[in-house]
Amino acid sequence: MSAPPHSCDAFLARFLDAASALAEALPDKGGDPERLREEAADRLLAGFFLRFARAASCGLQPELARLAPCAGDTPESSAAGAAESLLDALLNGYRLQLTEPRPDQDALAGGALAPDILAAAHALTRAGRQDAGVFYTPVGEVRLMCREALRARMAHALGVADDDPELLGILYGQGSPDLPAERAALLFRELARLRVCDPAAGCGALLVGMAHELSRLLTSLGRLVLPEDRNRLLEEGLPDPLSPTSIRRHIAASTLFGLDLDAGALNVTRQRLFLFTLAAGGEQVPDVRLLEALRAHLQEETGWSPLARRVAPRGTIRCPRRSRDPHPRAARGSTASRRSSRRPGAVSISF
């Protein structure tokens, strides 16, 4: 039975066909055909990312080339022209949305493409993926792992047990938490000061998942903060509790750090986190510092590097991987690469 037109499998199959077609248009340098297809896929993903940014009316188009290095061809080049034509055909019948789907949502419902498709498409085109020990974590498990990692930190900040009903209501409940303004400001400050490092970041499954969880918590807590506490938080260099855009930019620029062996995967993580900041809506003021932070805080390194030690200099909470799914299409958009030769573990939260 063929896949429905707007299924994830159908779209990814078309992406692979487009990458193969573009590879034929690229100069043959006598290398590995698989590597040539990877280069073609990277060019398509760069153009894909820029279209997401244009859909948000982002005013940083020239600077965004830093996050889309394969988009540097001149518009008149044959490779650039072929990539644009293939993207036009690939995206025909789809619409772009900046909000990534929830675990309980159909990935491509109604023909909507979210930034997590960048991760799924990248993963499918990596040669030797299984030999390198690359695994994929489903979105639902990412959300649970992030919440459980935050649970201990939030319990410590509030001075309660980690099974306290009030804490669980904040972490797992819907709507605004039921907290006094003073405790809301305390918890906002503690969460905004967190630093999170994933030493095997891949395409950002855990970092993007943590970004969404922190954004949700900080936004709901910010509504309870009193004006005088808001002013103190701003004086401390923390985000504006009443501004979802400020909160998201702070998370992307100051909270999240990551390492990986795959430079292409890290670039997808940077792109997803940048688009995460645009999804807050409102006026998008160009912020080159955000781009610089994403490049500085997500680095191509191996092992528990000096960067990771600087990020997490004190005690950490480790979120163990609950499963490793070798089928990226089944875990669409929720990729996180893990190399078997590297230190096990997931995200580390610095206090």
pLDDT in tens, 255-274: 999 999 888 899 999 999 99
Q: List the chain domain ranges.
A: 8-124, 139-350
**Does the pLDDT at position 158 exceed 70?**
yes
Do 9 and 3 touch, CB atoms closer than 8 A?
A: yes
**How much is the mean pLDDT over the chain?**
78
Can you tell me the distance from the alpha carbon of 98 to that of 101, in angstroms, rounded to the nearest whole number? 9
Over residues 71-93, the mean pLDDT reads 76
Q: Above 80 in pLDDT, residue 69?
A: no
Between residues 302 and 271, the one the model is more confident about: 271
| pLDDT greater at residue 180 or residue 311 | 180
pLDDT of residue 33: 77
Lowest-pLDDT range, 119-133, 151-165, 300-314? 300-314
User: Measured between alpha carbons, how far is residue 263 from residues 174, 202, 228, 236 in Å?
Assistant: 37, 9, 44, 34
Checking phi first, is residue 159 left (phi over 0); if not, alpha (psi -120 to 50) or beta?
A: left
Name which of 64, 100, 149 is nearest 320 in CA terms.
149
- Find the mean pLDDT for residues 334-338: 36
pLDDT reported for residue 304: 54
User: Which pLDDT does position 302 carry in this prediction?
Assistant: 60
Residue 319 has pLDDT above 60, yes or no: no
The pLDDT of residue 224: 94
Beta strands in the chain (DSSP E): 95-96, 112-113, 195-198, 256-260, 298-300, 316-318, 348-350
Q: Residue 132: what residue type?
A: A
pTM assigned to the model: 0.83
Looking at residue 232, its amino acid is R
Closest to 257 in 3D by CA, of 223, 224, 282, 293: 293
Q: Which residue in the block uniquely carries the two structure tokens 């894909």?
A: 48
Position 195 pLDDT exceeds 60: yes
Which helix (H) or strand (E) element contains residue 214? Answer: helix 205-222
Of 141, 265, 257, the C-alpha closest to 203 is 265
Q: Which two tokens stand for residue 270?
A: 């940077």
pLDDT at 126: 74
